């Protein structure tokens, strides 16, 4: 089982030729509203890899809640997501350019009220379970979720996004810590030097993470454990929308670890899921592993 503790949002997306500069108004070629939020995106990604998934979050008692939860319900995620009448459902305002790059502003709304007491109503954890935590919720709740997971014998995966001013010790000393490059630089307090990214992963490991990952976007990722350090190259396929790519990776990684795969195999699979997700518009249009296999097969036949 995968338990995801994180945010649920509605994404309001504008697609432009380029991102606006300060004070500039630009016409958008398209726009849409879709479900999002790091917790929601990760739960959908894990479910699409055939994992049993529970999501812990909060939405408002408003018209946006149905949109925010639609895909989660469609893919069979168990929702520990109360509706609160006194707060609105979270929102994300997304600007997307022609190269698939984005700029995002998040309005927390109900996500600011996700509380550790919600964990008490869940089924007891098992040793093979995975608890995946991201930080668009109160930091104290994220810490409590990590401690709850450890007490239950589950593995703890932390996606430290958005990166806080200081990461609490309970979120450093986890089974997997997976910042992107910018988040790693924030956590470490210095730049990640191109060509020396493995050293950043080693430093994250030395600070507490059993498996430390630095996601490098189109350059793949680097990872480090006590025994060794490695790199996985990105899958070079056309990019449409990078929104939610990190969440697709995190959810797919959690699902593969929960089903017993070795971490290197799980990492490789998660990078392929995240890459294929970037060929689709929207944060919750995450492929299944069968989708990835079909695309890999097409490229192999083309190469021949």
E strands along the chain, which residues?
2-5, 9-15, 30-36, 53-56, 59-60, 78-80, 83-84, 90-96, 102-107, 130-134, 155-159, 176-177, 211-215, 221-224, 229-232
Token representation of residue 13:
């997306």
How many whole angstroms separate alpha carbon 217 and alpha carbon 193? Answer: 15
CB contact at 8 A, 135 and 170: no
Active-site entry in 62, 129, 247, 291: 247
Q: Any catalytic annotation for residue 247?
A: yes
> Is residue 168 classed as helix, strand or coil in its secondary structure?
coil
According to DSSP, the residues that pair with 156 across neighbouring strands are: 131
Residue 68 near residue 18, CB atoms below 8 Å: no
Q: Which residues, in sequence order, are bridge partners of residue 11?
A: 34, 92
Q: Are 273 and 286 in contact (CB under 8 A)?
A: yes
Query: Which sign, positive or negative, has the C-alpha torsion 249, 296, 235, 9?
Result: negative
Q: Which residues are catalytic?
A: 247
């Amino acid at each position: 089982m995968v338990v995801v503790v994180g945010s649920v949002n509605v994404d309001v997306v504008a697609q432009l030729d380029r991102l606006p500069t300060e004070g500039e108004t630009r016409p958008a070629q398209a726009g849409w509203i879709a479900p999002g939020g790091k917790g929601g995106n990760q739960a959908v990604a894990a479910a699409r890899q055939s994992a049993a998934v529970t999501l812990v979050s909060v939405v408002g008692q408003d018209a946006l809640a149905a949109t925010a939860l639609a895909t989660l319900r469609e893919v069979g995620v168990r929702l520990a997501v109360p509706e609160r009448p006194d707060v609105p459902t979270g929102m994300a305002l997304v600007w997307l350019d022609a190269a698939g790059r984005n700029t995002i502003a998040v309005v927390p709304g109900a996500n600011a009220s996700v509380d550790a007491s919600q964990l008490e109503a869940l089924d007891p954890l098992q040793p093979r379970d995975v608890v995946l935590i991201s930080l668009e919720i109160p930091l104290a709740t994220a810490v409590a979720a990590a401690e709850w997971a450890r007490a239950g014998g589950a593995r703890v995966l932390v996606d430290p996004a958005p990166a806080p001013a200081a990461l609490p010790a309970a979120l450093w000393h986890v089974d997997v810590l997976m910042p992107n490059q910018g988040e790693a630089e924030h956590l470490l307090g210095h730049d990640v030097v191109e060509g020396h990214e493995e050293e950043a992963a080693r430093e994250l490991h030395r600070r507490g993470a059993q498996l430390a990952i630095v996601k490098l976007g189109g350059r793949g990722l680097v990872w480090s454990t006590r025994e060794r350090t490695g790199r996985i190259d990105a899958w070079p396929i056309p990019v449409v929308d990078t929104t939610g790519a990190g969440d697709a990776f995190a959810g797919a990684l959690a699902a593969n670890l929960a089903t017993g795969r070795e971490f290197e195999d799980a990492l490789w699979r998660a990078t392929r899921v995240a890459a294929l997700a970037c060929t689709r518009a929207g944060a919750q249009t995450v492929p299944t592993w069968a989708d990835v296999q079909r695309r890999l097969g097409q490229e192999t036949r083309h190469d021949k």
